[in-house]
Structure 1
């Protein structure tokens, strides 16, 4: 299939992009790498009347360290973040997750913020952002606002972005000393959508955070005790059931719950081992 007709604005400045979004309102969509949006256009799952291309806007092409955060602009490609030399030291969880994002060919074009804007419940970058407690920086013609990941993802492929607004950047907290992280995923083939993906953070104070994608309509996270504690299995089992897994063409609900329990434990244990 081919997309429905649309107007195309190739913005050379942030002001130009925001003005175009303001004029078109909810009829506009931002396009950057297009790895998520273009297939939706071709299948006519999305029918914007205006596409606003932001890839030429220099201020959106930056990766910066700011006050304990790594801020990634809306035009930064996934491969650019993957090859950013401080990534493994400052964002080891993201460094572990990025190789699971599609394939090298799609990462060479797809953007970090574009993956977040698509809000696929099986996507790795939204999961990593939620696990780390990161933020999304939004902007329209008149104002800016910052939302935590937990408030940004509203449902399956639905976000809190309002008409006339765009994602300007995403901010990941820098890796604290004494903290361990791990990322694991089960898919039918590498690069396919995750059946279940797990991201874990083992903190220096002995507490653990596990985030799971591919099961609920949005990535979900839970605080867990040490795996050796009596309450760990019960808490993880309750979490697996709370995600509301469903049967589909890729896996049964029962299999997904089993993966949350087994892969979740494995990922938490790996994060603890990496911490120590």
Structure 2
């Protein structure tokens, strides 16, 4: 199949892009890397009268360290994120998850902002944004605003951007001190969307007590999720007293919308999810215990 006819726009600036969104409203859609949108258009699962291609808007590309945050422009490709030395030093969880995103060709064309805005429940960058407490920069003709990642994902392929807003950048906070980060996910084949997965970030004090913890969940609901009950349960405790299996089980508690599909039942995904959390917790805490300021 081929996509239904549409008008194609290629703005040169964020201002031009948001002006086009304001002009066309619900009849317009932002096109970044196109790795999710283009197949949906080709299969006619969705249609928009106007596509606004932001892939060559220079101000939407780039990676900067600013005031304790790594700010990544929305149109920055996955491949550049995965290879960037600043990202590896300051937000290593992003470096760790990037090889799990599709295949090399996908990572070359796909963009970080597009992946986050698409709000797929199995999206790795979305899970990292939740895990680390990132902030989304949004822009419109009415002005700019910042949205906490915890408020950004509202439903299956849905986010809290207004119809006339674009995602300008994502701000990932740098976690200082003795920290560890890990990702584990299970997919039928490398490059497939994860059936279930987890991203874990942990910070320890000098007595090996957990001072901060983030646990993100992939493929275990209608949106990427954060396992707040498990995070709260470990904070303040000596890491040696925490059972990885218990944290995995606790992370699955309260999940009300685990999907059942051809890839696996809800109960199967839940079992896999618990195992992924346990493995990621073990790796992250081991890294943190080995870390020195």
Q: How far did 1:84 drift?
A: 1.1
In structure 1, the residue matched to 2:133 is: 133
**Within the alignment, does 1:210 sit opposite 2:215 as a pair?**
yes
Q: SS state of the match for residue 138, structure 2?
A: strand
Tell me if the contact between 1:241 and 1:257 (Cα under 8 Å) persists in the aligned partners: no
**Within the alignment, does 1:45 sit opposite 2:45 as a pair?**
yes
Q: How far did 1:5 drift?
A: 1.5
In structure 1, the residue matched to 2:106 is: 106
Paired positions, count: 276
Q: How far did 1:3 drift?
A: 1.4
In structure 1, the residue matched to 2:118 is: 118
In structure 2, the residue matched to 1:187 is: 187
Map 1:12-23 to 2 at 5 A.
12-23=12-23
Map 1:145-156 to 2 at 5 A.
145-156=145-156
Taking structure 1 as reference, are residues 35 and 240 closer, same or farther at Cα in structure 2, changes over 3 Å only?
same
Gaps of 5+ in 1: none
Taking structure 1 as reference, are residues 50 and 174 closer, same or farther at Cα in structure 2, changes over 3 Å only?
same
Q: SS state of the match for residue 167, structure 1?
A: strand
With 232-241 and 165-174 compared, the bigger mean Cα shift is at 232-241
Tell me if the contact between 2:179 and 2:204 (Cα under 8 Å) persists in the aligned partners: yes
For 2:102 and 2:247, the matched residues in 1 are separated by 31
TM (norm. structure 1) is 0.95
For 1:265 and 1:83, the matched residues in 2 are separated by 27
Map 1:1-276 to 2 at 5 A.
1-205=1-205, 206-207=209-210, 208-221=213-226, 222=228, 223=231, 224-225=233-234, 228-229=240-241, 236-244=248-256, 245-276=258-289
Q: How far did 1:75 drift?
A: 1.4
Taking structure 1 as reference, are residues 275 and 9 closer, same or farther at Cα in structure 2, changes over 3 Å only?
same
TM (norm. structure 2) is 0.89
Tell me if the contact between 1:89 and 1:175 (Cα under 8 Å) persists in the aligned partners: no
Q: How far did 1:45 drift?
A: 2.2
Note the aligned Cα RMSD (angstroms). Answer: 1.7
Q: SS state of the match for residue 86, structure 1?
A: helix
With 16-25 and 246-255 compared, the bigger mean Cα shift is at 246-255
Q: How far did 1:9 drift?
A: 0.7
Q: SS state of the match for residue 183, structure 1?
A: strand
Tell me if the contact between 1:199 and 1:211 (Cα under 8 Å) persists in the aligned partners: yes
